[in-house]
Structure 1
Amino acid sequence: MADSHGGRPARRSTRAASGSACCWALPTALLCAYGFFCSVRPSEPFLTRYLLGPHKNLSETQVFNEIYPVWTYSYLALLFPVFLATDYLRYKPVVLLQGLSLIVTWFLLLYAQGLRAIQLLEFFYGMGTATDIAYYSYIYSVVDIDLYQKVTSYCRSATLVGYTVGSVSGQVLVSVAGWSLFSLNVISLTSISIAFATAWFLPMPQKSLFFHHLSSQRLSCEMKVMDCKNGAVVQDHPDVQRAPGWEDETKVPLDGEGHSAEQQKQKVDIIKVLKDLWRDFLQCYSSRTMLCWSVWWALSTCGYFQVINYAQGLWEMVLPSHSTDIYNGAVEAASTLLGAVAVVVVGHIKTSWAMWGEVALALFSFLIAAAVYVMDTVHNMWVCYASYVIFRIIYMMLITIATFQIATNLSVERYALVFGVNTFIALALQTLLTVIVVDASGLGLDIFTQFMIYASYFAAISLVFLVSGICSIVEAYRRQEQVQSRSPESQ
Structure 2
Amino acid sequence: MSKTWIYPTVLLCIYGFFSSLRPSEPFLTAFLMGPDKNLTEREVVNEIYPVWTYSYLVLLFPVFLATDYLRYKPVLLIQAASYIITYAMLVKAQGVLAMQLLEFFFGMATATEIAYYSYIYSVVEPANYQKVTGFCRSVTLLGSAVGSMVGQILVSVGQVSLLTLSIITLSSSCLAFLAPWFLPMPSKSLFFHHGESVPQDKTAKGPADKSEDIECKVPLDVKVGTEEKRGYTGGLVEVLKALGADFVTCYSCRTLLAWSVWWALSTCGYFQVINYAQPLWERVMSSKDFVIYNGYVETISTLLGALAAFSVGYVKVSWAVWGELALCIFSMVIAVAVYVMDTVRNIWVCYTSYVIFRASYMLLITIATFQIAANLSMKRYALVFGVNTFVALLLQTLLTVIVVDSAGLGLDIFPQFLIYGSYFAAIAVIFLIAGLYKVATRGRADAAGTQADAAGAQTETESDSSGGETLICKESSII
* TM-score, shorter chain, exceeding 0.5: yes
> Matched residue of 2:196: which SS?
helix
- Whether 2:165 is the aligned partner of 1:184: answer yes
* Matches of 1:385 and 1:135, distance apart in 2: 31
How much has 1:490 moved relative to structure 2? 6.0
Aligned partner of 1:378 in structure 2 is 344
Contact 2:13 2:136 in 1 (8 A): yes
Show structure 1 runs of 5+ residues with no match: 1-16, 221-255
Question: Distance between the aligned counterparts of 1:345 and 1:29, measured in 2?
Answer: 25
What stretches of structure 1 move > 6 A for 4+ residues in a row?
Answer: none
Does 2:291 match 1:310?
no
The answer to whether the 8 A contact 2:9-2:132 is kept is yes
Q: Map residues 137-176 of structure 1 onto 2, 5 A cutoff.
A: 137-176=118-157
Amino acid across the alignment from 2:98:
A
Matched, 1:279 2:242: no
Q: Quick check: 1:450 aligned with 2:431?
A: no
How far residue 53 of structure 1 moved from its aligned partner, in angstroms, is 0.4
Assess if the C-alpha contact under 8 Å between 2:341 and 2:350 holds in 1. yes
Query: How do 1:123-142 and structure 2 match up within 5 A?
Result: 123-142=104-123
- Per the alignment, residue 45 of structure 1 pairs with 26
1:438 counterpart = 2:404: yes
2:441 pairs with 1:475: yes
C-alpha contact 1:72 1:431 (8 A) present in aligned 2: yes
Shift of 1:24: 0.9
CA distance in 1 between counterparts of 2:198 and 2:264 reads 38
Aligned counterparts of 1:490 and 1:355: Cα–Cα separation in 2: 30
C-alpha displacement of 1:219? 11
SS at match of 1:200: helix
Which secondary structure does the structure 2 equivalent of 1:351 belong to? coil
Question: Cα deviations across residues 265-320 of structure 1 (Å, max 9, x unaligned)?
Answer: 9x851111111111111000001100000000000000000000000000001011
Paired amino acid for 2:118: S
* In structure 1, distance between residues paired with 2:157 and 2:180: 33
Deviating more after overlay: 339-348 vs 169-178: 339-348
Partner of 1:245: none
After superposition, give the CA deviation of every residue in 1:412-465 in whole Å (9 maximum; x if it has no partner). 000010000000000000000000000000000000000000000000000010
SS at match of 1:432: helix
Query: Hey, what's the Cα distance between the residues in 2 that align with 1:52 and 1:490?
Result: 79
1:110 to 91, 100, 108: 91
Query: Following TM superposition, by how much is the alpha carbon of 1:486 offset from its aligned partner in structure 2, in angstroms?
Result: 1.6
Match of 1:101 in 2: 82
Give, as a single letter, the amino acid of the residue that structure 2 aligns with 1:407.
Answer: A
SS at match of 1:326: coil
**Residue among 320, 328, 331 paired with 2:286:** 320
1:332-380: CA deviation from partner (whole Å, max 9, x where unpaired):
0000101111112222011110111001100110010000000000010
Q: Is the 8 A contact 2:190 2:198 kept in 1?
A: no
Q: What's the counterpart of residue 178 of structure 2?
A: 197
- Work out the CA distance in 2 between the residues paired with 1:219 and 1:190: 38
> Contact 2:285–2:347 at 8 Å: present in 1 too?
yes
SS at match of 1:440: coil
Structure-2 separation of matches of 1:407 and 1:171: 37
Partner of residue 66 from structure 1, selected from 38, 47, 51: 47
Cα RMSD, aligned residues only = 1.7
Report the Cα distance in structure 2 between the residues aligned to 1:25 and 1:344, rounded to whole angstroms.
23
1:120 to 76, 79, 101: 101
Code of the residue aligned with 1:129 in structure 2: it is: T
C-alpha distance in 2 between matches for 1:489 and 1:108 = 77
Task: Decide which of 17, 28, 35 is 1:54's aligned counterpart.
Answer: 35
State whether structure 2 residue 196 is matched by structure 1 residue 217.
yes
1:124-154 deviations in Å (ceiling 9; x for gaps): 0000000000000000000000100000001
Q: Hey, what's the Cα distance between the residues in 1 that align with 2:63 and 2:82?
A: 13
Give the counterpart letter for 1:62 in structure 2: E
Question: 1:430 and 1:219 mapped to 2: Cα distance?
Answer: 33
Structure 2 residue aligned with 1:224: none
Give the CA deviation at 1:157: 1.1
Indicate the residue corresponding to 2:457 in structure 1: 489
Which residue type is aligned with residue 468 of structure 1?
A
Look up the equivalent residue of 1:41 and give its one-letter code. Answer: R
Q: Which residue of 1 aligns with 2:7?
A: 26
Residue identity matched to 1:111: K
Query: In 2 relative to 1, CA 470–490 (structure 1 residues): closer, same or farther, beyond 3 Å?
Result: farther
1 CA distance for matches of 2:376 and 2:179?
Answer: 32
CA–CA distance in 1 between the matches of 2:329 and 2:19? 35
Q: CA deviation at 1:485?
A: 1.2
CA distance in 1, matches of 2:313, 2:424: 24
Tell me the number of residue pairs that the alignment of Structure 1 and Structure 2 aligns: 429
Please name the residue that 1:223 is paired with.
Answer: none
Structural mapping, 1:253-292, within 5 Å: 268-292=234-258
Give structure 2 stretches of 5+ with no counterpart: 200-225, 460-479
Aligned twin of 1:84? 65
**C-alpha distance in 2 between matches for 1:374 and 1:165:** 28
Distance across 2 between alignment mates of 1:458 and 1:400: 18
**What is the CA-CA distance between 1:391 and the residue it aligns to?**
0.2
Residues 155-207 of structure 1 deviation map (CA, whole Å, 9 limit, x = unaligned) = 01111111111000000000000000111111100111111111111110000
Q: What secondary structure sits across from 1:322 in the alignment?
A: coil
Q: Aligned to 1:298, which of 245, 264, 283?
A: 264
Q: Which amino acid aligns with 1:189?
A: L
Query: How far 1:484 moved relative to its partner?
Result: 1.4
For 1:316, the aligned partner's letter is E
Residue range with higher mean Cα deviation, 337-346 or 379-388: 337-346
Q: 2:189 aligns with which of 199, 205, 208?
A: 208
1:344-363 alignment, distance < 5 Å: 344-363=310-329
Deviations 1:47-71 (A, max 9, x none): 0000000111011110000000000
For residues 53 and 306 of structure 1, do their structure 2 counterparts lie closer, same or farther at Cα, with a shift above 3 Å needed?
Answer: same
CA contact (8 A) 1:484 1:490 kept: no
Counterpart Cα distance in 2 of 1:335 and 1:217: 44
Q: Distance in 1 between matches of 2:361 and 2:457?
A: 46
Within 5 A, what are the aligned runs for 1:399-418? 399-418=365-384
Q: Structure 1 CA distance, aligned partners of 2:132 and 2:269?
A: 30
Separation in structure 1 between the aligned mates of residue 110 and residue 75 of structure 2, nearest angstrom: 11
Paired with 1:373 and 1:177, the residues of 2 have a C-alpha distance of: 35
Q: TM-score, normalised by structure 2?
A: 0.88
Per-residue deviation at 1:218? 6.9
Q: Is the 8 A contact 2:264 2:389 kept in 1?
A: yes
Assess, with a 3 A threshold, how the Cα gap between structure 1 residues 340 and 119 changes in structure 2: closer, same or farther: same
